[in-house]
Amino acid sequence: MALRNVLLEGDGTLRKKSREVTHFDQRTRELIDDMFETMREEDGLGLAAPQVGVLKRIFVMEGVEDNEPTAFINPVLIDEKGEQTGAEGCLSLPGLFGIVTRPEEIRVRAQDISGEEFERTYTGLEARCVCHEIDHLYGVLYRDKAEGGLHKLEPEEEQDETETASEEIISAKVADSDA
């Protein structure tokens, strides 16, 4: 396993559309292992392959509520219900957050590392995370959807690791505040 470099906004790769994964091989496995390691190192809740410079339809998610580490290959949203409005962040736009409206509940279909298809339903933060990561696969950043633009995280929040632990997706503190 190896840490990969997380691309920052401004890098053109983040604006490109990712390709369908057709080979469920060792290379794909290594990429996913590296993505998990990189996501943990960066304290993210999710990470999409384009963020590490690979234009493949893959994202990983972990650490939202009781969620187990999951890799989603060729994910598609097959259903969405309701609406939630809250704070969101992204490892590719460090130190920032914005208010984004997402579905409250989603159902996602994807393939696992063996190419086996699975479906899951997520609500709340996990639903937000899945939507955010799938957007990355289309070259969409949450800046495009943030109401009233992006804001800087407060310095004291940046210094406190527990408060910025969820920079990719959301700072729980920000989400609870009246920001």
| Residues annotated catalytic, as ranges | 133
35 binds Zn ion (CB under 5 A): no
**SS3 (DSSP) at 68:** coil
In this chain, which of 90, 100, 150, 175 binds Zn ion, going by CB under 5 A?
90
Q: Please, is 115 exposed, middle or buried when counting C-beta atoms within 10 Å of its C-beta (0-12, 13-18, 19+)?
A: middle
> Of the two residues 5 and 22, which places its CB atom closer to Zn ion in the complex?
5
Least distance (Å) between residue 90 CB and Zn ion: 3
96 binds Zn ion (CB under 5 A): no
Calpha distance 6→103 (Å, rounded): 27
174 binds Zn ion (CB under 5 A): no
What does the chain come to in residues? 179
58 binds Zn ion (CB under 5 A): no
- Binding-site residue total for Zn ion (CB under 5 A)? 1
108 binds Zn ion (CB under 5 A): no
- Can you point out the beta strands (E) in the chain? 46-48, 58-61, 70-81, 84-88, 96-102, 105-111, 117-123, 147-152
> Of the two residues 73 and 96, which places its CB atom closer to Zn ion in the complex?
96
Stretch that binds Zn ion, among 7-15, 28-36, 82-90, 146-154 (CB under 5 A): 82-90
**SS3 (DSSP) at 156:** helix
Q: Report phi then psi at 85, rounded to 5.
A: -125, 125
Q: Which helix (H) or strand (E) holds 115?
A: none
Least distance (Å) between residue 105 CB and Zn ion: 20
Residues of this chain that bind Zn ion (CB under 5 A): 90
